[in-house]
Amino acid sequence: MNHERSSALFHQAKAAIPGGVNSPVRAFKSVGADPLFIKKASGSHIYDEDGNDFIDYVGSWGPMIVGHCHPDILKAVQETMTSGASFGAPTERETILANMVIDAVPSIEMVRMVSSGTEATMSAIRLARGFTGRDKIIKFSGCYHGHSDSLLVKAGSGAATFGVPDSPGVPADFAKHTLTAEFNSLESVRGLVASNRDAIACIIIEPVAGNMGTVPPREGFLEGLREICTNEGIILIFDEVMSGFRVAYGGMQELTGVTPDMTTLGKIIGGGLPVGAFGGKREIMEKLSPSGGVYQAGTLSGNPLAMSAGIATLNILKQPGFYAALETKSRAVAEGIAKGAKDAGYPIYSTRIGSMFCAFFCKGDVIDWPTASQCDTRAFAKYFLGMLDEGVYLAPSQFETAFVSAAHSDADIEKTIAAAAKCFKLIA
């Protein structure tokens, strides 16, 4: 497969943009290649600048649940654009999307729109601190909640992929307020809570971890966190930037029945445009400026284009049978890949929740960051490059999630499974 034009564009980009990319996860550094430069996308396929066609399981890192260029979303954005891209003043669409989110997500009674997932988590934490009057927070090793100072501690996603889970530039004075527990270990949480009594403002967690690969919560884990938080006056924040409207219309909290105090969202609710949101109990949210004193703001917050794309997306997701059909496709592709590995005699650990899945290149169970980090990342790189050659575009890191969209066809899925079987045979 020819990647000449992508490589040339990457070369030019590196002179102007650090590392040639505007977000580290886009670089193919950890798989030893140059990133593809994308020209266009449609449905479940993306096309690079060299004219290659790929089945896309990145989906812009999660937002594209209905596929690329869905006609309803195109129409909504085009119509909105003709009446103005941004006003820095309230619009009706913001309330419409806010009410759709409130109706969908069990924990959300009020919601504030922002422009990225990072803003959502950063602001949610400030609000939790303002509400409780406490400074410390607990996060989980391998979880990623964007790149704000307090949260770049033992972080997953690109931070883990590139070996900077604790980034230079984060003052030790900030990081000392961030305590880190192990995902799926209530014991580790209880230990931190016991030694920091009345000092912890919030526990923030991806209820299904999607930034160290896909790691589902074990039975009782989220319920246990809920109990600890209720007993200790700690705000429980579910970071559903990835899982919100993805694993179910109401996210992991709908799927598991565990209701946090606050939730952060992003990705899908912007239909591919820049967006984020954080919401929760009314008594907490009302502490936010201008109704309360906790300050948070944004020029493009509630941007008309993003609101329109979000409303159009959620209207598609609300259609009866949407998630059942997505579940069928997702099961087929994840199980098909795992079978290909088994038949080739190559052991992987396969995980999936709804349309999020991961093939871990490792023999044992993956339940947290210590187990995820044992994976054979060199074998993953071979698999990734093999799949790319076969026309399948995966995230270029073992520590990311693959996303299935409603646009993936049976033919896409069959081709993906056949490609994976071939790749596993080659690396076995």
Task: Give the active site residues.
Answer: 144, 239, 267
Sequence-distant (6+) residues with CB within 8 A of 191 are 181
With beta carbons less than 8 A apart as the criterion, state whether 21 and 27 touch: yes
Select the residue interacting with ligand HOZ from 211, 264, 330, 373 (CB under 6 A).
211
DSSP state of 25: G
Q: Tokens representing 37?
A: 């430069």
CA-to-CA separations, 1 to 13, 45, 51, 384, in angstroms, rounded: 22, 16, 10, 14
To the nearest 10°, report the CA torsion of 364, 370, 375, 381: 150
What is the contact mask toward ligand HOZ in residues 135 to 174, using x (rule: CB under 6 A)? ---------x------------xx----------------
Nearer to ligand HOZ, 23 or 78 (CB): 23
DSSP state of 69: T
Contact indicator for 37, 376 with CB cutoff of 8 Å: no
Nearer to ligand HOZ, 63 or 310 (CB): 63
264 contacts ligand HOZ (rule: CB under 6 A): no
Q: Which is nearer to ligand HOZ, 28 or 144 (CB)?
A: 144
Distance of closest approach, residue 393 Cβ to ligand HOZ, in angstroms: 15
Q: How far is Cα 68 from Cα 60, in angstroms, rounded to an integer?
A: 9
- By beta-carbon proximity to ligand HOZ, the closer residue of 393 and 424 is 393
* 266 DSSP β-pair partners: 276
Query: Should residue 400 be labelled a site residue for ligand HOZ when binding is judged by CB under 6 A?
Result: yes
Here's the x/- map for ligand HOZ, 53-92, by CB under 6 A: it reads as --------x-------------------------------
* Smallest separation, CB 400 to ligand HOZ (Å): 5
Instruction: Read off the DSSP letter of residue 18.
Output: G
Considering only residues 8 through 47, tell me which ones interact with ligand HOZ, judged by CB under 6 A.
23, 25
Residue 280 found at the interface with ligand HOZ (CB under 6 A): no
Structure tokens, 117: 């997932």
List interacting residues with ligand HOZ (CB under 6 A). 23, 25, 61, 144, 157-158, 211, 400
